[in-house]
Amino acid sequence: MKRIVLFASGSGSNVENIANYFKDNPLVTITSVFTNKRDAKVIDRCNRLNISALYFNKESFSKSDCLLSILKGMDPDLIILAGFLLKIPKNFVTAFPNKIVNIHPALLPKYGGKGMYGMNVHNAVKNNNETETGITIHYVNENYDEGAIIHQAKTTVTKEDSPENIAEKVHALEYEYFPKVIDQILSN
């Protein structure tokens, strides 16, 4: 049995999509979903999907070993960041080498780094008149959005696309590729 732990800060539509993808797979289980936002929509989704959702505050994450100890106890095969907005502390990266995977809603190295998340990314893509954007699934290291790239997928951006349209196109790519890439990593 492979164990996945997910981290999310917001809506959690990727969490739900990943949960649905693996729900009939007896070899993969979602141990828990961690969130740093007490009112995140992902918690409602987890309740509906019957997945344990755990809230933690920033201090237990970055200033103590509390969360790290809980996570180690879960012995996950993969830790997936699905719309998680805090920086992963160095001690987590060291404790789980090549086991933390993030999805970023752009074609890294473009539009990465601090402050580049969610609609900020799509607004920047629009403002720079990009003709394409996409997703990057990558391992996590100590620097924001800089770990080794596992998979990228592209979509076109037209002049007519609003930032919201761009977000929709990018989400569609995330739903299509993220669970499959997770599945592949777990089977390697």
Which residues between 22 and 51 bind ligand GAR (CB under 6 A)? none
Alpha helices in the chain (DSSP H): 13-22, 41-49, 58-62, 66-74, 90-95, 118-127, 163-187
179 touches ligand GAR (CB under 6 A): no
Task: Find the binder of ligand GAR among 5, 7, 10, 43 (CB under 6 A).
Answer: 10
Whether 145 contacts 85, CB under 8 Å: no
Binding of residue 122 to ligand GAR (CB under 6 A)? no
If binding is defined by CB under 6 A, does position 92 make contact with ligand GAR? no
Q: Are 173 and 153 in contact (CB under 8 A)?
A: yes
Per the DSSP assignment, residues forming a β-bridge with 29 are: 3
Tell me the closest approach of the beta carbon of residue 41 to ligand GAR, in angstroms: 8
Q: What is the DSSP letter of 82?
A: S
**118 touches ligand GAR (CB under 6 A):** yes
Q: Is position 138 annotated as part of the catalytic site? A: no
The β-bridge relationship of strands 2-8 and 78-81 is parallel
Contact region with ligand GAR (CB under 6 A), list: 49-57, 87-95, 97-105, 151-159: 97-105
| Catalytic annotation, residues | 104
Residues binding ligand GAR (CB under 6 A) = 8, 10-14, 82-83, 103-105, 117-118, 121, 170-171, 174
